[in-house]
Structure 1
Amino acid sequence: METLNQAVSLSEGVVLQTQRIRHQRSRGPTVVFLHESLGNIALWKRFPARVAEMTGADVLVYERRGYGTSSDERLPRPYHYQEDEGQVWLPRLLDALDIEDVVLVGHSDGGSIALIAAAALGKRARGLITMAAHTWADHLTVSGIQNMIRRYTEDGLREKFQRHHGERTDALFRAWHTIWLDEGFQKSMDFSRWLEAIDCPALIIQGEDDEYGVPEQVTDIVKGIGPSARPVFLENTGHSPHLEQPEQVLALIYDLLLIVNSREIERFD
């Protein structure tokens, strides 16, 4: 198993920073990780590597525009920025890396983008796992962001973020809370139309104590996708299940990949 860090050039002058974990003989589709609103490659910690080790699957982790060492994004963000990421930039990245079949693992904003990407990629999306995804802006999201702004300015959270985001910290934080607290964005955000196009096994995960999302986010997503989706609520878990309950989430991913890989075998029989 080897790890390769690579800056990938796409169209329109966009460069995305990637990390790939590859096996000499990989099993099934590549597992692609999509980070949260204030995330990057490093903030996944060892979780993607543990998935690669446990499952034998190749893994791709990448940083969206405006994050880490990827290209700057255009600010302010448009209302459809998540849809742009899911239906435009992720498919372009996969094409550039010659990756065909994928299992998408998305957290928070990355979970919402994963839903859009799973629909946009069609048969290329062999599996889907979301953690704390949103298809609409609910009151817990808005109040959680307002509380985060207070903590950023009063409780030293800015200094913590600077360790991960450096000189981009203020711009990234402002881009995040500005769009989410925009009433026009809140009213327009609705990803339900993407859900019925998702045609792969899906686990929709949320912590029971998630301070950024109501349980209906999960039930609405599962209802929109249909029988191939399963809701998972984790006890004693907040907004980051993969960090708070890593063993449970690893087991869930492992089980989903067993289902996906059995379908791959059937596909080529």
Structure 2
Amino acid sequence: MSTPPFATITWRDRTVQIECAWIAPEKADAPLIVFLHEGLGSVAMWKDFPAQVCEAANARGLVFSRPGYGRSTPRADDETWDVDFMHRQAHEVLPALFAALKLDGEKPWLFGHSDGGSISLLYASRFPDKVEGLVVLAPHIFVEDKTVANIEIARTAYLETDLAKKLGRYHDSADSAFWGWNRIWLHPPFRDWNIEAELGAIRCPVLAVQGIDDEYGTLAQIRGIAARAGGSCELLEIPECGHSPHRDQPDRVIVATASFITKNRRQTP
């Protein structure tokens, strides 16, 4: 990936810089894959995985850090996220980013991990005509007990270990990234968060991937997508794999993604 530029958007009544990195931008006629990171992710935390996916799928790529993450503008000191935080990313931030990058006329493929997968689903349900397809890894469509339990463990680790220092390698403000994610997931009203009813509006093909040993969710998440999505849905359930299939089983994910995009790509005359 090239040195990340920044896109400027207006969000929550202030100017926000969004860290971006492009992959193979010279392939003007190739499909575009937009990568949406997990709850503690960033451009840098993807490492070279997006480039490998784009090479295998003969695609361009856009990787970005959401507000509060990576080199993007951190959360304001008084900014707290509410139960609708993923909806706001899908309905407000992503359209603003696409507009800033002059991608309004494109129909990208969205590749989302964990929270990024949920945001991808929400974007495709709100804007069904603006996305070509989805690849979602370990997405959440409702809140499970094991998810909350492991996020509580992460909170303890952040307070009592060197996790903050480790996250500092990937974020300008580790506190912004960690607490923005952790506090809302542990906020009691968030236990009722559920996007199952919105999935029926999705019209594009979906590849939903989950590790059988996922510590943050059960297979009910991706099976629920298959049962409710308005478009076609393929499932990939990977053994010996936890919450990050692209790290635990990268080759399986790359091959499946490239095959899925090739098979479902709309050919232009």
- TM-score, normalising length: structure 1: 0.91
- 1:5 alignment partner, SS class: coil
Aligned to 1:15: 17
Aligned to 1:109: 115
- Equivalent residues of 2:20, 2:63 under 8 A apart: yes
Alignment of structure 1 residues 172-183 onto 2, 5 Å: 172-183=177-188
Structure with greater helix percent: 1
Q: How far is 1:68 from its partner?
A: 1.5
Q: How far is 1:126 from its partner?
A: 0.6
Distance of 2:171 and 2:8 partners within structure 1: 21
Match of 2:74 among 59, 72, 75: 72
Amino acid at match of 1:67: Y
Distance of 1:239 and 1:88 partners within structure 2: 27
- Equivalent residues of 1:91, 1:121 under 8 A apart: no
- TM-score, normalising length: structure 2: 0.91
- Equivalent residues of 2:203, 2:231 under 8 A apart: no
- 2:20 alignment partner, SS class: strand
- Equivalent residues of 2:206, 2:231 under 8 A apart: no
Match of 1:118 among 104, 119, 124: 124
- Equivalent residues of 1:27, 1:56 under 8 A apart: no
- Equivalent residues of 1:201, 1:229 under 8 A apart: yes
Distance of 2:27 and 2:199 partners within structure 1: 33
Count of aligned pairs = 262
Amino acid at match of 2:200: E
- 1:203 alignment partner, SS class: strand
Match of 1:185 among 183, 190, 195: 190
Change over 3 Å in CA distance of 1:69–1:159 after alignment to 2: closer
Match of 2:138 among 120, 132, 144: 132
Match of 2:91 among 76, 87, 110: 87
Aligned to 1:260: 264
Distance of 1:165 and 1:72 partners within structure 2: 9
Runs of 4+ in structure 1 displaced over 6 angstroms?
Answer: none
- Equivalent residues of 1:16, 1:65 under 8 A apart: yes
- Equivalent residues of 2:133, 2:206 under 8 A apart: yes
5+ residue gaps, structure 1: none
Alignment of structure 1 residues 1-269 onto 2, 5 Å: 3=2, 5-11=4-10, 12-74=14-76, 75-99=79-103, 100-166=106-172, 168-187=173-192, 189-226=193-230, 228-261=232-265, 264-265=266-267, 268-269=268-269
